[in-house]
Amino acid sequence: MPFNLGVTELLVIMLIMLLVFGAKRLPEIGSSMGKGIREFKKSISEVKDSIAETDDGAPSSRQIDASSDAVRGGEPRKLSDKKLSE
């Protein structure tokens, strides 16, 4: 069992949950947890698919162009500079 929990420990945890949340609320909590886990797995698979699409040699849209303002000059701009556009 995960986390080395035995049957007794699981029963105690379930009993505490029953006392805290009540019998009517537990199915709602379980349902919402299931939906959350499904949504999480779906988003993970979407991220994996998007990573696989960018790995086929096409340049990623997140790459910085060497001629951009972030790279120009080699030094970061100071906040005290009054000129914002060069």
22: domain CATH number is 1.20.5
pLDDT at 70: 53
Q: What is the number of structural domains in the chain? A: 1
Q: What is the pTM assigned to this prediction?
A: 0.48
Residue 11 covered by a domain: yes
Residue 54 covered by a domain: no
Residue 85 covered by a domain: no
Residue 62 covered by a domain: no
Residue percentage of the chain with pLDDT more than 90:
42
- d(CA 86, CA 77) in angstroms, rounded, equals 11
Per-residue pLDDT tens over the stretch 31-59: 999 999 999 999 999 999 888 887 765 55
Judge whether 57 and 63 are in contact, CB under 8 Å.
no
Residue 58 covered by a domain: no
Residue 18 covered by a domain: yes
pLDDT at 63: 53
Mean pLDDT confidence for 13-40: 93
Q: Which comes out higher in pLDDT, residue 67 or 11? A: 11
Greatest pairwise CA separation for the chain in angstroms: 70
- The dihedral of CA 11, 17, 23, 29: what is its sign? negative
- The dihedral of CA 28, 29, 34, 38: what is its sign? positive
